[in-house]
Amino acid sequence: MPHSHEDTPLRFPILIGDIGGTNARFSIVFDADSEASEPVIVQTADFATIDEAIRTAILDRPGRRPNSAVLAVAGPVESDEIALTNCPWIVKPRQMLANLGLGDIVVLNDFEAQALAVTALGEEHMEKIGGGAPEPDAGRVVLGPGTGLGVAGLVYALGRWIPIPGEGGHMDLGPRTPRDFEVFAHIETIEGRISGEQVLCGRGLVNVYRAVARADGKEAPLTRPAEITAAALEKSDPVAEEALSIFTTCLGRTAGDLALVFMSRGGVFLTGGIVQKILPALKEGAFRAAFEDKAPHSALMRTMPVYVITQPLAALAGLAAFAQKPSLFGVETSGRRWRA
């Protein structure tokens, strides 16, 4: 199959869907020029299959029926049956073509959609944390601590934006300060390894909170990420405060590492519910200091802007941009596009 930009475009109306571990968000793009329809958000736990969710959210409602679909899923797209990482649904495009009256389905990785979104969202959907002005066509990086840690690069080449998905959330994360060494000794590992995802996601924050408590022989009564961030931001629990401080510092270090890999003078973009909630903590300075602490390249790091994406439906905006004008993006659809 040829590259997407040489390929036939999808037929409108196009159903777009951002399928996360907890929520699935759907909308319809009617043509290349108009806004996508008002999003419909459903809980994945309420439906046995994605087909049922699409039928209830979109097909059973009055309005124009979609001819095609572009879906972003949290998991690798490697076969005709795509299992989601943090949700029991299995996306079966061939079955969807038969069951849902669709003629054409493209399935992307959820972080590709987040990467596409940074080209589609305006400054009003972002909060800047330090750095200079972004260079228009320079590399970019997207990080999303959520149910896991998603990472994608975005490079501009040959006249189009090319998203680079991968498993950047599983890079090693190590201690640096004497206090890090005390706390990291208690962080739960995977086969002896502390990866980004053991710290920089919802369960990672709980992991760090318990490690701080253990390092000091204290109780760790909080069990949910939201409780820990709330207690830390209210400054009502010193263990939670330190856990959030380590989280923001490690996020700064990791964001800085990725900024160096992609030479992201176009900006580093943080996305997802967690960063939106902890924005006050990210602005306090420790995050930016950790991001810039990259000798011998600290001067370069100081110039790179970091943005928190405040638009909760960013991935849908990215999918809509791709559905409307696929030629702007170098998205490889080979092996990820099914036709009736």
* Structure confidence at residue 337 as a pLDDT band (50, 70, 90): very high
pLDDT of residue 40: 96
Q: What is the pLDDT of residues 33-53, one digit of tens each?
A: 998 999 999 999 999 999 999
All structural domains of the chain, each given as residue ranges with its CATH number in brackets, are: 4-115+313-339 (3.30.420.40), 122-310 (3.40.367.20)
pLDDT of residue 63: 84
pLDDT of residue 257: 97
* Structure confidence at residue 86 as a pLDDT band (50, 70, 90): confident
Q: Are strands 140-145 and 149-157 parallel, antiparallel or unpaired?
A: antiparallel
**Cα dist from 154 to 109, 132, 238, 240, 330, whole Å:** 14, 19, 38, 34, 10
Task: Report the predicted TM-score, pTM, of the whole model to 2 decimal places.
Answer: 0.89
* Structure confidence at residue 249 as a pLDDT band (50, 70, 90): very high
pLDDT of residue 1: 41
* Structure confidence at residue 167 as a pLDDT band (50, 70, 90): confident
Percent of the chain with pLDDT strictly greater than 70: 98
The Cα–Cα gap between 197 and 235 comes to 25
Q: What is the pLDDT of residues 61-71, one digit of tens each?
A: 988 899 999 99
* Whether residue 98 has pLDDT greater than 50: yes
DSSP string, 280-335: HHHTTSHHHHHHH--TTSHHHHHH--EEEE--TTHHHHHHHHHHH-GGGB----TT
DSSP character for 69?
Answer: E
Q: What is the mean pLDDT of residues 270-289?
A: 95
Q: What is the pLDDT of residues 211-231, one digit of tens each?
A: 999 999 999 999 999 999 999
Q: What is the mean pLDDT of residues 244-259?
A: 98
∠ CA(184), CA(20), CA(337), 5° rounding?
120
Residues 6 or more apart in contact with residue 277 via CB below 8 angstroms: 226, 229
Q: What is the mean pLDDT of residues 199-204?
A: 96
Q: In the numeric block, which tokens belong to residue 39?
A: 């999003």
pLDDT of residue 110: 87
* Structure confidence at residue 6 as a pLDDT band (50, 70, 90): very low
pLDDT of residue 3: 45
Q: What is the pLDDT of residues 135-162, one digit of tens each?
A: 999 999 999 998 889 999 999 999 999 9
pLDDT of residue 94: 96
